[in-house]
């Protein structure tokens, strides 16, 4: 059995070698003009378009892969930058938790963008390009079978024109010609059907790829713009916090006011002792005035008796009518600007003490 297997392999090898020699001989004769060559101008145009389409698709696929890698590199760089900011951001600075949340949101946004363009754009191009190698191989096979057909055709013709006609050889040559023609025409017809369809499909692939890419880019940059604006707002408020602390330190150094008796206000100056309550006889101060504070954070009122604050608002703190009504950590007062303009006793409200600093 082993020898038979070897014989079959050797026989196939001999046949393949003979085919290659016959093809090489046929091509030489065709180049020398001693044998006519089957030509199909329409098919050659299809092949030229296929080659152009292959080159364009391969370049787009390569550039998309490079774009995805660049996005990944930008994602890594952004993550390192956000981690650096989060690590050096001190706990007492304004917006520490918000900065940490922004770092996580930014990382997630980059990751989603990278995955989206990979799945929707690059994978689409990979699926489109996967069919090209097979068609290219079939075109090459079709060209070989065309040479075989020409060779069989010329061999049959030479036997028919010979002086001594051998009917057996002519019959065999005719049979080989028919087989070669059938194989060639089957491949030729298949490719003539497929190549125009493949050529027309490129427009749809390009449209889907770039529409998808543009859509993901628009979404990514829109969300990233919001995160960037949030970071800008946090940095602005951090600078305002620094300026307020700087002003408080300067006031303490010039000796304006008494030193605060509260630990979290130890670096501020007090314009009047906390226990000093005015009788309201002065036209510029409300009844029960104690001291002034400045808002260091925004505070949104959640009840009708609360005072809404914006960073930088100056509040005139007054004593509670009933001390038992005062909750720990809360103060009662008027916004200075409202009091100066309207002198409205009903405009007072409570607010959290730790959102302010004495001035």
The DSSP-derived string for 235-295 is HHHHHHHHHHHHHHHHHHHTT-SEEPSSGGGTTSEESS-TT----S-STTS-TTEEEEEEE
Instruction: Spell out the domain ranges in the chain.
Output: 21-241, 263-358
Q: Are 176 and 22 in contact (CB under 8 A)?
A: no
Per-residue CA distances from 271 to 224, 334, 358 (Å): 45, 16, 8
**pLDDT value, residue 264:** 47
Q: Which two tokens stand for residue 203?
A: 């427009």
DSSP class of residue 307 equals: P
Domain pair 21-241 / 263-358, same fold: no
Q: Are 30 and 36 in contact (CB under 8 A)?
A: yes
Considering only CA atoms, give the Rg of the chain. 44
pLDDT tens for 308-354 read 999 999 999 999 888 888 888 899 999 998 888 888 888 899 999 99
- To the nearest 10 degrees (0 to 180), the angle between helices 96-117 and 167-253 is 170
Q: Which two tokens stand for residue 102?
A: 């922004």
Q: Which two tokens stand for residue 199?
A: 């050529």
- 263-358 classified as CATH 3.40.50.1970: no
pLDDT tens for 193-249 read 999 999 999 999 999 999 999 999 999 999 999 999 999 999 999 999 888 888 877
Q: Which fold has domain 21-241?
A: Substrate Binding Domain Of Dnak; Chain:A; Domain 2 (1.20.1270)
pLDDT tens for 170-194 read 889 889 889 989 998 999 999 999 9
């Amino acid at each position: 059995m082993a020898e038979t297997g070897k014989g079959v392999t050797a026989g196939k090898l001999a046949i393949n070698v003979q085919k290659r020699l016959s093809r090489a001989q046929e091509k030489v004769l065709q180049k020398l003009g001693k044998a006519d060559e089957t030509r199909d101008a329409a098919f050659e145009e299809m092949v030229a378009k296929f080659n152009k389409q292959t080159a364009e698709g391969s370049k787009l696929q390569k550039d998309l892969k490079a774009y995805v890698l660049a996005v990944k590199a930008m994602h890594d760089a952004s993550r390192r930058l956000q981690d650096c900011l989060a690590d050096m951001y001190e706990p007492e600075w304004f917006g520490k938790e918000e900065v940490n949340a922004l770092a996580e949101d930014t990382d997630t946004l980059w990751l989603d963008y990278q995955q989206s363009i990979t799945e929707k754009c690059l994978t689409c191009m990979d699926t489109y390009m996967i069919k090209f190698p097979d068609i290219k191989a079939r075109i090459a096979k079709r060209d070989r079978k065309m040479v075989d057909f020409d060779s069989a055709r010329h061999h049959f013709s030479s036997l028919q024109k010979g002086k001594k006609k051998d009917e057996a050889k002519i019959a065999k040559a005719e049979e080989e010609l028919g087989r070669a023609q059938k194989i060639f025409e089957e491949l030729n017809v298949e490719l003539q059907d497929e190549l125009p369809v493949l050529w027309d499909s490129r427009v749809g692939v390009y449209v889907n790829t770039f529409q998808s890419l543009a859509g993901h880019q628009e979404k990514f940059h829109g969300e990233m713009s919001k995160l960037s604006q949030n970071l800008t707002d946090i940095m602005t408020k951090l600078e305002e916090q620094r300026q307020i602390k700087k002003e408080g330190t300067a006031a303490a150094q010039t000796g304006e006011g008494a030193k605060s008796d509260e630990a979290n206000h130890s670096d501020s100056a007090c314009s009047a002792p906390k226990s000093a309550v005015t009788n309201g006889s002065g036209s510029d101060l409300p009844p029960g005035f104690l001291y002034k504070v400045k808002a260091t954070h925004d505070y949104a009122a959640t009840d009708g008796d609360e005072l809404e604050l914006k960073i930088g608002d100056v509040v005139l703190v007054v004593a509670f009518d009933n001390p038992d009504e005062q909750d720990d950590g809360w103060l009662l007062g008027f916004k200075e600007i409202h009091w100066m303009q309207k002198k409205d006793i009903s405009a007072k409200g409570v607010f959290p003490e730790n959102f302010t600093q004495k001035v």
